[in-house]
Amino acid sequence: MAMLAYEAAIIAAFFCFLYFFHRRQCCRHPLFTDFPILGMLPQLLFNLWRAHDYSTQVLKQRGGTAEFTGPWFTKMNCLVTGDPINVHHVMSKSFPNYVKGPVFREIFQAFGDGIFTADSEAWKYNRNLFHSLFKHRSFEVFLEKTIHNKVQNTLLPMLDNLQQQGRVVDLQDVFNRFTFDNICSMVLGYDPSCLSIDFPEVEIEKAFNQAEESIFYRQIVPICFWKLQKWLQIGQEKKMTEACKTLNQFIHACIASKREELNKYKENEMGEAHKDLLTALMREGKAHDDGFLRDSVFNLFVAGRDTITSALTWFFWLVATNPLVEAKILEEIKEQFETNEKMLGVLTVEEVKKLVYLHGAICEALRLFPPIPFERKLAIKADVLPSGHSVNSRTMILFSLYAMGRFEETWGKDCLEFKPERWISEKRSIVYVPSYKFIAFNAGPRTCLGKDLSFFQMKMVAAAILSNYRVQVVEGYVATPSLSIVLLMKDGLKVKITKREI
């Protein structure tokens, strides 16, 4: 009996040796401590509350690229990198070899088959379609008019009311409502008036937030775990199901209403009220079914709502906590428009192009706090990255956009400083930085189609608010990134608004 126990112990030890040897061979450049069976997941979960800063710190120690292994028998293994040369290789030079992949589409199921999850021909079709819509002059005019009216008639009067009351306000919530109204107007052609002094609760907006939180959750736990939750309809997956049901009902109702509305008009009878993207999609592609339209609308909502909210929120926090930058932005506005009397109004797209320092300040905010903090790709064939790391077929590559903005090798020893000057040349023009270094708008063929439109919107909002009001962060407030697929502030941005002296 004792002999059998002895032999069993030897066999167990042998298999343990094989297991650890296999793990060591598979993970030559570990990101975190590799625990038996559980892999590196415990260390990730333990530091989840500071996930972005912690991953940045560890990546710096590992030379910019390292491997992450999840629990045994899970599909959580990936290569994590913030090295711009690796990003350039994956996103541009070897673009055909790296795709979103089926696992990505499972995790981002709420996005359907839209442009963010699509690969190959489906992605090309979506991109060409949206490119033609965004570049259409009528849409650019419609976009500018929509933003201008929303800022002039709703945002500024609301801030004026808040400053008169002396209330503390969550500026992130304000921007969330502002961008939600804007994206509804741009995509669907109607304004839900979410931005209001009484801050109404909007079910559809809450559903979007919940879906994004659940998607983030799916990326940090084993697939088998969240799939089990989905099957049992418990926890985050129950919330995800309810959120998607609300979203689908809302979007499909809008599509049906739009079809009914368009059937009443002939094409030559459509005026300015019919320049929204849903109308354009229905007119551009007669064969587009409701499923395609639903996925397109969802993807456009995420692209044009949360990313702008994130960018504006972090921008105003950085400006409010860096008074010298604020003073330079105001000085530039005054210099450009001192005889225009538009200093206290809303500038046009052509006018905001003159605000070079403001543009640099927004780029700095996006560098330090990219709205999408992580990007992931899947290798089709085996490859070797420029950093020397081997990539097997079906290997997942995870880019930390957040870490990339904090590498001294790329941005210098002052990389943690909010310094708009790094974007401005001696001739007072914007310094060009390759997209694989400044990746806030993605890089390579998948570079964001709405990049210019986003800058116009952010500059119009920023110039209008800063010209009229001073934003002061409440004493003791600490800005903490949220755990979501979009880099928002965990507790919002609590500020007081005061009227600026003219």
Q: Can you say which residues are annotated as belonging to the binding site? A: 448
Residue whose structure tokens are 């129950």:
238
Length of the chain: 502
Helix (H), strand (E) at residue 162: helix 156-165
Known binding residues for heme: 448
**Assigned token pair, 228:** 């089990």
Phi, psi of 316 (to 5 degrees): -70, -30
SS3 of the chain: helix, strand, coil, percent, to 5: 60, 10, 30
* Amino acid, res. 473: V
Residue among 125, 415, 103 at smallest CA distance from 133: 125
Cα 263 vs. chain centroid, distance in angstroms?
36
Residue whose structure tokens are 């001192």:
338
Could you give the C-alpha distances from 318 to 97, 231, 311, 324, 325, in angstroms and in order? 38, 43, 11, 11, 9
The answer to whether 336 touches 432, Cβ cutoff 8 Å, is no
Sequence-distant (6+) residues with CB within 8 A of 66 are: 29, 30, 31, 58, 59, 79, 80, 81
**Assigned token pair, 456:** 């116009």
Could you give the C-alpha distances from 163 to 153, 337, 479, in angstroms and in order? 16, 25, 22
Sequence-distant (6+) residues with CB within 8 A of 220 are: 44, 45, 48
Q: What letters, b where the CB count within 10 A reaches 16 and e where it falls short, cover 49-82?
A: eebbebbbebbeebebbbbbbbbeebebbbbbbb
* Rounded CA separation 220/230 (Å): 15
